[in-house]
Amino acid sequence: TASHTGDSVNEKRTLLKKYYGSNLKALDDNWAFPWKDTRLVSKINDALQHNRPFVIGTIGSSVIAGHDNCQYDSFQNQLERFLKPVFEAFGIGFEVRNAGEGGGCGDTYQNQIWCVRHMVGDDVDMIVYSWTYFEAGDREVSKWHEMFTRWVLLMERSPIPIILSMNGCNDH
């Protein structure tokens, strides 16, 4: 129902307010931006109209893989716990796929992007990329970010590319 949907969204917003405390600008910047993106709204609407789940894939280093962390607290599991009830309130399934690597198997931010469709599937709506710590000091990192973005947009559903950077780690 509409009221249940509103309750679920408001409940999540209340949790975010509690987490951010007095720093509501951070909350508004992080909460409002994605929902104003017409491409994201279109992808959510597409999932609803075609009765399929909204799928987010993640690629990157050990940080995105969840190493040195409880599986419960990994980025993907937190994202799924937080957003799945909101999507389900709208009647949409929600899934997050983790294709993070440790960086020790030869994968890097320069070569993992070419395998993204094989790692997360061609049916994703959004792909989150995070190689922040390995990119530090690379003055050409924007070139790799552009290649990631272009390659992702060529996929079947043309997923929304998201580059997740940790504060200040890519300062040159």
Q: How many CB atoms lie within 10 A of CB 23?
A: 11
Least confident of 9-18, 41-50, 118-127: 9-18
Beta-bridge mates of residue 130: 60
Whether the predicted pLDDT of 119 surpasses 70: yes
Task: Place 8 in a pLDDT band, splitting at 50, 70 and 90.
Answer: low
Whether the predicted pLDDT of 25 surpasses 80: no
Least confident of 6-10, 26-30, 92-96: 26-30
Whether the predicted pLDDT of 155 surpasses 60: yes
Closest residue by Cα to residue 44 from 95, 92, 88:
92
CA dist., res. 52 & res. 32, Å (int): 24
Beta-bridge mates of residue 121: none
pTM strictly above 0.85: no
Q: What is the pLDDT of residue 2?
A: 45
Contact 66, 100 (CB under 8 A): yes
CA dist., res. 61 & res. 44, Å (int): 27
Q: What average pLDDT does the structure give for the chain?
A: 78
